[in-house]
Structure 1
Amino acid sequence: MESIILLKGKVKYPLTIDPGVWIFDDRKVDLNTFFDQEKIEVDELEAYTKAVSEHWDREIKEGAVVPTPSKKPSTKKYEKEKLLSGTFAIPVYYFLDNAIVDDQVTQVIIKTSDQDHSMSYEEAYNGLFGFSKDGKPLIEDGPAHFYYGDGSNKDNPIKNIHEIIVE
């Protein structure tokens, strides 16, 4: 079985996607809690600008602060444990945005080893690619699973994905 996914069609930059490296990606979300959480829209540029502004203001008012070693317990062990036992997904919109989709696109076809799944562009854009279950990559029916953003197929995702065609 191939462990990559091709994203092609009406895009400026076709992508070859490798779900095996997503475990190291900071954009991943915990699939066990994602559909239960309240959705909050965050403008990443605005959040970054706000954080930088607060840091700048603090340095102007208080001056530069020399970092001191902290006595807090290390979170590295907790993070490693979470990676080794978690179930993770990554939002699809990151890939569609990077591929620069044509303005005329209306649907997306997800090709699996069994059949083709057609959906609207909005459904695909708001969806998630699951890539890890209980800390293990999806080797049997992977390399990724597709979940609708509303969680309607969270118990039965689209599996064995090998190609995404944007039309």
Structure 2
Amino acid sequence: MIVPITGNVTYTITLDPTVWIFDDRKILLDEAFTENKVDHDQEDELEKASRRFNQEVYQQKINPPVNKSISRMEGKKILENSYVMPINEFLNHAEINENAADATLVITNGDEQQVSLQALKECYLLFAMDGKPLKDDGPVHFLYRDGSNRENPIKGVKKIIIN
């Protein structure tokens, strides 16, 4: 149930989606795509640039996510919803080399899917459906940030290779 990020990176890292259910960075699947569409329609270029700058400054301070205490009611709610995780922060920790061109998603059935680096940086990884890990067709599903493949995600992603 782990997903290594390897290839043209400074640091090979291993993602463990089974622990993301307790990570504060997770996003409800239902909210992941509705927020983005509103943001893209309402933001102007200056706001986008400002947000990217702030994100880069924040990422320079390597602070692990701190999970606030969870009440019993919140814990029950967590175990009933579907969640996605933005992958960009993990890619920043892996430090993709400047000469990287694209990425290959290795699927559990042995197939491979090519995606652009930009699409990878902006993607969501679906890791929990109804509060449970994706055991049958997991460990994660690849979803484009715009939601274009929400009904037909790339399933069974078990490895990400940066080319």
The alignment's TM-score, normalised by the length of structure 1, stands at: 0.76
Deviations 1:7-37 (A, max 9, x none): 1011000011111111111111111121112
Q: Counterpart of 1:144 in structure 2: which amino acid?
A: V
Larger radius of gyration: 1
CA distance in 1, matches of 2:151, 2:128: 15
Match of residue 18 from structure 1 = 16
SS of the residue corresponding to residue 165 of structure 1 reads strand
Match of residue 130 from structure 2 = 134
CA distance in 2, matches of 1:112, 1:105: 21
**How many pairs align?**
138
CA distance in 1, matches of 2:8, 2:57: 30
CA distance in 2, matches of 1:78, 1:157: 31
Q: Counterpart of 1:5 in structure 2: which amino acid?
A: V
Q: Counterpart of 1:166 in structure 2: which amino acid?
A: I
Match of residue 27 from structure 2 = 29
Q: Does 1:119 align with 2:134?
A: no
Same amino acid, percent of matched pairs: 34
Deviations 1:62-114 (A, max 9, x none): xxxxxxxxxxxxx8244212211111011010111010000111201101023
Q: Counterpart of 1:86 in structure 2: which amino acid?
A: N
The alignment's TM-score, normalised by the length of structure 2, stands at: 0.78
Match of residue 7 from structure 2 = 9
Quote the offset at 1:44 in angstroms.
4.6
5+ residue gaps, structure 1:
48-74
- What is the RMSD computed on CA atoms of the aligned residues? 1.9
Q: Counterpart of 1:128 in structure 2: which amino acid?
A: Y
